[in-house]
Amino acid sequence: MSDPMNVLAPEHRRLRIGDAWRDAASGATFAVEDPATGKTIAEVADADVVDGLAALDAASTAMAEWAATPPRKRSELLTATYRALTERSEEVARLITLEMGKPLAEARGEVAYGAEFFRWFAEEAVRVEGRYSIAPSGGYRILTVPKPVGPCVFVTPWNFPLAMGARKIAPALAAGCTTITKPAGQTPLTMLFLARIMEEVGVPPGVVNVVTTKRSGEVVSALLADGRTRKLSFTGSTEVGRVLLRQAADNVLRTSMELGGNAALIVCADADLDVALDGAMVAKMRNIGESCIAANRIYVEEPVREEFSARFAERMGALSMGHGLDDGVNVGALIDEASVTKIDELVADAVDRGARVLVGGERPDGPGHFYPPTVLVDVPDDARMLKAEIFGPVAPIISFTSDDEVMAKANDTEHGLAGYVFTRDLQRALRFAEGLDTGMLGINRGLISDPSAPFGGVKQSGIGKEGSHEGILEYLDLTYVAIDLPGPARCSGRPACAPAPPGRPTLPTPSRSRR
Nearest-angstrom CA–CA distance, 443 and 433: 8
Q: Are 422 and 279 in contact (CB under 8 A)?
A: yes
Nearest-angstrom CA–CA distance, 63 and 134: 33
Name the active-site residue from 106, 110, 116, 258.
258
Q: Are 388 and 414 in contact (CB under 8 A)?
A: no
Q: Which helix (H) or strand (E) holds 209?
A: strand 208-210
Helices (H), 71-181: 71-87, 89-100, 104-124, 163-175
Contacts of 515 (CB under 8 A, 6+ apart): none
Q: Are 237 and 391 in contact (CB under 8 A)?
A: no
- How many CA within 13 A on the CB side of residue 314? 8
The amino acid present at 51, given as its one-letter code, is D
Q: Are 511 and 505 in contact (CB under 8 A)?
A: no
- Residue 257 DSSP SS3: strand
Bridge pairing between strands 179-182 and 208-210: parallel
Residue 437's closest CA among 453, 461, 405, 455? Answer: 461
- Residue 82 DSSP SS3: helix
Asked if 414 is an active-site residue, the reply is no
Nearest-angstrom CA–CA distance, 263 and 496: 58
Beta-sheet strands, E only, within 378-475: 394-400, 415-416, 418-422, 440-443, 458-459, 462-463
Nearest-angstrom CA–CA distance, 236 and 184: 10
- Residue 59 DSSP SS3: helix
Residue 178's closest CA among 160, 195, 159? Answer: 195
Task: Report angle CA 191, 441, 357 to the nearest 5 degrees.
Answer: 85
Q: Which residues are catalytic?
A: 258
